[in-house]
Amino acid sequence: MSGLLRLNEAARNAVVKALAPAEPIVFVTTPDPREAGRAAWPTAAAGALLAVLAAPIAFIALQAIWDSMRYGGALSFPIVMALIAVPVVLMGCYLMLTPHAAERRARDTVILVTDRRLMTLSLSGKPARALPANAILGVERRKVERGYGTLEVRHEAADPGRGDTAETILAGIDDVLEAESAIRRLSTERSVTLIEPVH
């Protein structure tokens, strides 16, 4: 219950609303936005690399299209190159925004573990995501820095058409060891293979 008392009022209300009658809280926290943003920096760096590498190709291709239209010439090759390079630049720019998106998502998220399920609650009114204990297949501690960590929870896929398993990433957790332990205890009802944690 002490974790619940550390939450702000909106987060506490979301937790109380999500709990079933007599459902005890095992672990609850809100991710740290700055740490969640830091965890997304490798993705942003990859996006920047994509944009930097593809931008000259996109520029040359667009310039070639313009010259071909003005002075006459083959358009097929420059158009194909532009259709490849421009989306890559846009994708790179999109990936560069992932730290900001991760910070926004962390500010809106409450992570709740009970003796029945793992839930991620939204403070903005989005539908809560719940994983019952029997759907959790494993948990991996991916990174621990400055007391904060990231967990990857493997679970059965909600949509069987997309595969048998899926992953849920929980980033910016302030007490990652306690969270990992709570998820491990939650999933002990079934035979669970836990990946060796990072030290």
In sequence order, what DSSP letters do the residues of 75-131 get, joined into one string? -HHHHHHHHHHHHHHHHHHHHHTHHHHHHHHHHTEEEEEESSEEEEEETTSPPPEEE
**What pTM, to 2 d.p., does this model score?**
0.69
Number of Cβ within a 10 Å radius of residue 49: 13
Name the nearest CA neighbour of 140 among 103, 183, 93: 183
51 pLDDT exceeds 90? yes
- Averaged confidence pLDDT in the chain: 83
CATH for 2-30+108-189, options being 2.30.29.30, 3.40.50.300, 3.30.70.260, 2.170.120.40: 2.30.29.30
- By CB neighbour count within 10 A (0-12 exposed, 13-18 middle, 19+ buried), where does 99 fall? buried
Residue with the larger pLDDT of the pair 6 and 55: 55
Domain ranges of the chain: 2-30+108-189, 41-101
Both ends of the chain: CA-CA distance in Å? 28
Measured distance CA(110)–CA(29) in Å, rounded: 6
Predicted local confidence at residue 189, as pLDDT: 55
Predicted local confidence at residue 92, as pLDDT: 95
Is the CB of residue 137 less than 8 Å from the CB of residue 195?
Answer: no
- By CB neighbour count within 10 A (0-12 exposed, 13-18 middle, 19+ buried), where does 16 fall? exposed
